Amino acid sequence: MAKHIYTNEFKQEVVRDIESGKYKSADEVRRIFKIGGSMTVYKWLAKYGKSSNFVDLEKISTVIEGRIMENSKEEKIKELEKELTELRISKRKSDMELEFYKIVVDIAKEDFNIDLKKKYGQKQQKGWNKILNII
């Protein structure tokens, strides 16, 4: 969406027209001139207007609070997506380490006749020495 840049003169003319009664509301001006952003004309009224009668402070604060909440939710979603990615990477690493240890246990059993799944004893300790000497 293209961002329009309005001159100060245009903004002040719109505010004067609203204050003089030419237009009923800031929303009407938005529709007529196809001004984007629900708060744009209200900001002009607050900045250039002579009175705050046309500035709906409740509407402004509601919209601002809504945008803050949206931004907060978006930031939280991004943060959670990043955390999820990190957890997935960590899980893959842990899965690979587990698979490696399973292979080592299988090799020890097949090649050195050492059952690493049993409780440690002298026989297993000697077996580990054989493995360490090979490595």
Tell me, yes or no, if the pTM score tops 0.85. Answer: no
Whether 135 shows a pLDDT value over 70: the answer reads no
Residues 6 or more apart whose CB falls under 8 angstroms from that of 30 comprise: 38, 40, 41
Q: What is the pLDDT of residues 107-129, one digit of tens each?
A: 888 888 887 776 655 555 666 67
Confidence class of residue 43 from pLDDT cuts 50, 70 and 90? confident
Between 31 and 68, residue with greater pLDDT: 31
User: What are the residue ranges spanned by the domains of the chain?
Assistant: 1-55, 104-134
